């Protein structure tokens, strides 16, 4: 899996940063992706990538501020021009359904695919998926805002190939059955138990993407033991009062949240337009003493994990 940052600016775009959107590219062979927030211009950002809207499966909106939502009506409309665009699920805070319904009605937008909208509250989302579970919690912002924790389900353990050869199990479909937990019977009549030739399940990866937020307990809880945490970092140190007044965080506060949560990696994003590219890189480096594995996101940055 990997993340692709499509917009990393706070509030308004700059010449080098668009407003917020992040794509999660799912493992092969699915070739699907999810979007987290759809700021204005997101569909234009997508045109410069290999991602196609007919492979977009789900959208998660953190909150209703325009720099996270104004690209949504245009993207939904453009998706109708892509062959094979199937059902699209949207999850977001209360108000997301009204926003989409009014935009579609006022512009007479008609979609040629099924659109499902779910307004979220805290807890586990109603996702029908064999690969992932998604949890959400409300953060501390000026309006209702949610963070998302995406947990990959445990994967089957490794096959003991040496033992399978010793037992006389021929490579092929029987290997697949054993890996999926099924016992098999050889032509000789001997039963081979999956538990005897498959290792322990491999823990799934955890990704946490937070919306706009001041430091809060919910952010730490969602990010606990995450392989990758994406945290807003609108301001640098020295602007803590301004950050809390607007429901935002400094880069140092994002690093502190990652450290408290024992996350493995931190990507900071959503930077104030007052900062240059060089400023942001320097700020991230200065906060490695709080959390060493920190990276400052930029538009089109890809982070495999």
Residues classed as catalytic = 67
Calculate ∠ Cα 137-250-133, nearest 5°: 25
**Annotated binding site: which residue ranges?**
63, 65, 67-68, 141, 212, 270
Yes or no: say if 14 and 40 are a contact pair by the CB < 8 Å rule.
no
**Angstrom distance (rounded) from CA 224 to CA 76:** 33
- Short-list 212, 51, 294, 57, CA closest to 303: 294
Which residue bears the tokens 């952010």? 219
Query: Each residue of 244-264: b (16+ CB within 10 Å) or e?
Result: bebbbbbbbbbbbbbebbebe
* Helix, strand or coil, per DSSP, at residue 295: strand
**Tokens encoding 108:** 């007479």
Burial of 4 (0-12, 13-18, 19+ CB in 10 A): buried
Q: Give the CA radius of gyration of the chain.
A: 22
Reduced 3-state DSSP string for 209-275 = ECCCCECCHHHHHHHCCCCEEEEECCECCCCHHHHHHCCCCEHHHHHHHHHHHCCCCEEEECECCCC
Q: Which positions make up the binding site for Zn(2+)?
A: 63, 65, 67-68, 141, 212, 270
* The residue to which tokens 């699920």 are assigned: 89
């Amino acid at each position: 899996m990997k993340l692709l940052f499509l917009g990393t600016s706070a509030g308004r775009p700059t010449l080098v940063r668009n407003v917020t959107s992040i794509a999660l590219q799912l493992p092969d062979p699915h070739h699907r992706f999810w979007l987290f927030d759809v700021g204005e211009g997101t569909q234009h950002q997508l045109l410069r990538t290999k991602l196609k809207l007919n492979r977009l499966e789900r959208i998660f909106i953190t909150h209703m501020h325009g720099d996270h939502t104004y690209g949504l009506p245009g993207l939904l409309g453009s998706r109708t021009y892509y062959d094979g665009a199937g059902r699209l699920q949207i999850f977001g805070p209360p108000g997301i359904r009204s926003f989409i319904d009014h935009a579609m009605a006022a512009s007479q937008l008609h979609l040629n695919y099924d659109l499902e909208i779910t307004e979220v509250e805290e807890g586990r989302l109603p996702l029908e998926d064999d690969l992932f579970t998604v949890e959400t919690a409300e953060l501390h912002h000026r309006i209702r805002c949610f963070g998302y924790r995406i947990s990959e389900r445990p994967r089957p353990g490794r096959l003991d190939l040496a033992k399978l050869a010793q037992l006389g199990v021929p490579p092929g479909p029987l290997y697949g059955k054993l890996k999926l937990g099924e016992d098999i019977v050889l032509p000789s009549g001997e039963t081979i138990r999956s538990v005897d030739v498959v290792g322990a399940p491999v823990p799934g990866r955890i990704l946490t993407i937070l919306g706009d937020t001041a430091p809060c307990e919910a952010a730490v809880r969602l990010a606990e033991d995450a392989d990758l945490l994406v945290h807003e970092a609108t301001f640098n140190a020295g602007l803590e009062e301004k950050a809390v007044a607007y429901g935002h965080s400094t880069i140092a506060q994002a690093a502190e949240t990652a450290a408290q949560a024992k996350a493995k990696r931190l990507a900071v994003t959503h930077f104030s337009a007052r900062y240059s590219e060089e400023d942001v890189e320097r700020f991230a480096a200065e906060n490695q003493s709080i959390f060493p594995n920190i990276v400052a996101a930029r538009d089109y940055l890809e982070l495999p994990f």
